[in-house]
Amino acid sequence: MRVLSSRRFPGPAWDELRHVEYFAWPLIEERQGAEALTVVARPVDDALLDLLPDLKLVANYGAGYELVDVDACRARGITVTNTPGAVDAPTADLAFALMLAVRRRTVEGDRYVRAGRWGSGWAEEELMGDDVSGAALGIVGLGGVGRAVARRARSFEMRVLYAKRQRLSPEDESELGVAYRDLDDLLEEADIVTLHVPQTHETERLVDARRLALLRDGACLVNTARGTVVDEDALVRELVSGRIRAGLDVFVHEPHVPEELFGLPNVVLAPHLGTALASAREAMTRVLVDNVLAFDRGERPQNAVT
């Protein structure tokens, strides 16, 4: 199978693809004979598909595939795959890193020390934080990443709530140690809310101004999903007011970050670090290559989304 790619993906699994042609993005000339396209964080739309008349497979590198026009691919008989699973643990770890950073004010403490403001051998009153252990954690979306977060929360003895379109069975709830709540009720009850839903039309601005207002004073919102899941303008207003806190790894117009956030002490900002581990990136390549090889053998790829 002839594979077209704008880059080499990390890890030894990539070398298992024997017929790879590279191109400089964006593609501007027709490429006949290319049967598979491997892509990361690039739009795959009708204009691109028109340049690839023999395309049969779009192998997306990453769990989120919102930039791929799945309907356009389906209409042309093109299979789309993604790489879930490999992102679960690293994204869950980052979510907890942001929770800890915000609640224990570690970023503020770092700045405090670097500025030479540490005036005694004891932590100053202005850097007093809040517990993570024992706090009420609300998980919005309980797929692979959300479940990984729930498992980690056990070690912190947190009370874990979750909101999901379809409620789990009592057995699954008991196994994970989670309790179901309607989304609005979860937002009102949780000390920390962490978002783990995909970007779809249904989840766009899922946490809007009305729902942000439901968060209790001092609550922490963590977003390692997608920026569009939250009404970013409304979130900025809440953070500027100082009423709530946040740990944000994703934004609506990346790499643009609202300037109002830069000087705020109640928000920790990260540049989309969810899968920024060599091991995670190589694992994602392994899944991507397995999808391509399975398709080439005439099998349905395990991670087909069409």
Burial label for 165, CB within 10 Å (0-12, 13-18, 19+), is: exposed
Q: How many CA atoms lie within 13 A of 72 on its CB side?
A: 15
Please tell me the distance from the alpha carbon of residue 205 to that of residue 65, in angstroms, as a whole number: 18
One-letter identity of residue 6: S
Integer Cα distance of 83 and 42 in angstroms? 15
User: E strands of the chain, at which residues?
Assistant: 3-5, 20-22, 36-39, 57-60, 79-81, 136-140, 159-163, 178-180, 192-195, 220-223, 245-248, 267-269
Active site residues: 226, 254, 272
Lookup: tokens for 134 = 């024992």
What's the token pair of residue 53?
A: 């008349």
Sheet holding 220-223, edge to edge: 178-180, 159-163, 136-140, 192-195, 220-223, 245-248, 267-269
Q: From CA 255, how far away is CA 82, in angstroms rounded?
A: 23
How many CA atoms does the CB half-sphere of 273 hold within 13 Å? 14
Which amino acid, 38?
A: T
